[in-house]
Structure 1
């Protein structure tokens, strides 16, 4: 049972990190009013946070392999706490950006630290499911940043709302420092266990270092898997979904917040199912990735081409499709686990985690610029047509990501076959 306690402590720290990360999604309109900025500058808040998050993934991965999960979760929690305190009192865009940068640096240390706990405390056969559960339960933080945060902002005001959120971070840091341990006395064989169906065993001589993780095409397959599956749901939940639903589609704020909550709750259901699929049919993981991308692209096509404002049932359907994006992106981490030994899992996970957040940053910036360009002078907010043009940019990213997944799937399979042959000869 001790392993579940360690995992639970790390998971709580990750939930708080997701709460901080996602809080801007429903606070975006309030932030624009408080800071006196338009859509392009507003997007810089999320861009600054995500850019730092993505840029820190590989350095944090290296630090994680050296210093362990406990130190990084504690350090990251303190940085996020500081950022949240600054954000609570921010009155201009510069201060707000600085706050989101601090949150982004701290957030970068959370998820991959918890994945390392899973890798070292649990048997390898449990990893695919537990990675999915980690990612999805962590999204409870996004759920708490939807309806509850909207109500708090409305009734308690900006400063009180974000000061209260800072208190959650302080409690999480205290729990990590007093309870968490990096690894058990006996470490399991590690995340390098490969399902028998794949025959992609790792050579006996395990080479350390980030360079060796990157050299394996399976790691890059994980990166592009994360890239192509994550960005649509992330951008929708993190910043532009709420304005699209309220300003573009004309939904009431409460209804829009409920849809964002549905996005999170649905992910909690789909995560374990996808984890079970990856554990049972590892050779078909990339097929599932293509199915997720195709479904997301098709759902958005219907919404964007609908004449006039989309009905609520259609927007609900879009959210139901997007709720698979988060669990689907976790398949990338399963690739990192499959093709890298335990002593470099932090670096490999960091490489994979860069993919989806780079795509999200690009899309957030692009949507902000398009909305700014297509919103006339004096307009209170962007039109539905402007939102449609902006969200159509997703198809460029889907196309690039799908090509790269297909490319590295073929390369990885050739590498696996060659390694299996070499081991058989030896």
Structure 2
């Protein structure tokens, strides 16, 4: 009998979780990076609101479309190899963005960034499935996204500072170099399986069978309410955080780049704290569904208040934005709900299908709200009313998705289900 391989040390486990969180910071930074500099890009390249919506949303659409092949690759080749390949594309995207001279060039760069970041959350979640017990998955998901969201913090006031100091092009060259360093460290540290635990057999399915597994996932009764809710939950937050908050603060409240960065720092800082707290909500409620419902209702309420208020003072808007960020921590619980629905052999495809909805929803809502604001602006409607209409529309979309999500049964990590 071969000797038993020693268990991983506590230090190694910390290093593993740490590097996975640091790599995910890149994804959060890149997805949020157009927010604070959106007015600068518009001024430099003459972009209209619709252009900003497409430019920001291109990351999320390409990220979403990549989820299907990423799910297959995760199940067939494991998380580490899939993540290393994807990160190389993200690095290329940073350099293309820095060199772009047109809207088309910026959009191409955002597409590359989206594809490159497409495995930076799903890969770590697949590793956590192998390394930790199921009851710790929701907390680890919250921790992963919370620490990773420091990257989104870096896309607020710090990015505003470096943009004022050296310009947005130099800032993205720096982002590409940092990403390369983190990719090398991740390749050295990360492992798909803990010591002493045999790796699961890699799928020998044909491509047609792999795609058939996606169809099997799609036939599960709980998937589509989850898909719709996850498509609208994070998307309604991201439409504000990564796109419209900065132009709103510039057009309605007259804030300059640094001041906008500080407010966005408050939104994202609230999100970081909220992600940590919401990660333990399942244990507190003994339910995965109840905290999701509560969080969605609060987010819709904040959006409705922003839509209803006529010329609110800046302090109140800032406070509502910070609470909005704190409350956004409920959205990873939707992925944790999905984690409880799929068997191991379909885990990669199941979770990435849901994450496809997560990212595609952001693209759709950003494109539609960009079209809404642009149309209202061309019709002579005041910019403030255009933003208020956008906040109101996001609230209605979120409530409609919540009504559909409410039709599926509740569960928790102590009653893991393999089907309906």
Tell me the CA shift for residue 316 of structure 1.
2.4
**Structure 2: gaps spanning 5 or more residues:** 1-9, 201-211
Tell me the CA shift for residue 79 of structure 1.
0.4
2:390 maps to 1:390: yes
2:68 maps to 1:58: yes
Tell me which residue corresponds to 2:309. 306
2:244 maps to 1:240: yes
Relative to the length of structure 1, the TM-score reads 0.86
Between 1:72-81 and 1:332-341, the stretch displaced more is: 332-341
5 Å-filtered alignment, 1:79-228, equals 79-187=89-197, 209-228=213-232
Work out which of the residue numbers 61, 64, 83 in structure 2 matches 1:73: 83
Work out which of the residue numbers 252, 256, 259 in structure 1 matches 2:260: 256
Cα distance in structure 1, aligned partners of 2:266 and 2:282: 24
Between 1:164-173 and 1:399-408, the stretch displaced more is: 399-408
Is the 2:343–2:418 Cα contact (8 Å) retained in structure 1? no
SS in structure 2 of the partner of residue 343 of structure 1: helix
Cα distance in structure 2, aligned partners of 1:17 and 1:391: 25
The number of residues matched between the two structures is 397
Note closer, same or farther for the CA distance 1:346–1:4 as it changes in structure 2 (3 Å cut): farther
Cα distance in structure 2, aligned partners of 1:255 and 1:417: 46
5 Å-filtered alignment, 1:12-51, equals 12-51=22-61
Tell me the CA shift for residue 276 of structure 1.
1.5
Deviations 1:349-402, CA, capped at 9 Å, x for gaps: 11221233232222211121122122249x9x9721221223322134113311
Cα distance in structure 2, aligned partners of 1:57 and 1:417: 24
Tell me which residue corresponds to 2:3. none
SS in structure 1 of the partner of residue 195 of structure 2: coil
Cα distance in structure 2, aligned partners of 1:310 and 1:254: 21
Relative to the length of structure 2, the TM-score reads 0.87
Tell me the CA shift for residue 301 of structure 1.
2.1
Is the 1:370–1:386 Cα contact (8 Å) retained in structure 2? yes
Tell me the CA shift for residue 417 of structure 1.
12
Cα distance in structure 2, aligned partners of 1:418 and 1:131: 19
**Structure 1: gaps spanning 5 or more residues:** 191-207
Tell me the CA shift for residue 48 of structure 1.
1.6
5 Å-filtered alignment, 1:306-345, equals 306-307=309-310, 309-345=311-347
SS in structure 1 of the partner of residue 280 of structure 2: helix
Cα distance in structure 2, aligned partners of 1:385 and 1:226: 28
Note closer, same or farther for the CA distance 1:417–1:35 as it changes in structure 2 (3 Å cut): closer
SS in structure 2 of the partner of residue 217 of structure 1: coil
Cα distance in structure 2, aligned partners of 1:20 and 1:101: 11
Tell me which residue corresponds to 2:357. 355
SS in structure 2 of the partner of residue 407 of structure 1: coil
CA RMSD after TM alignment: 2.7
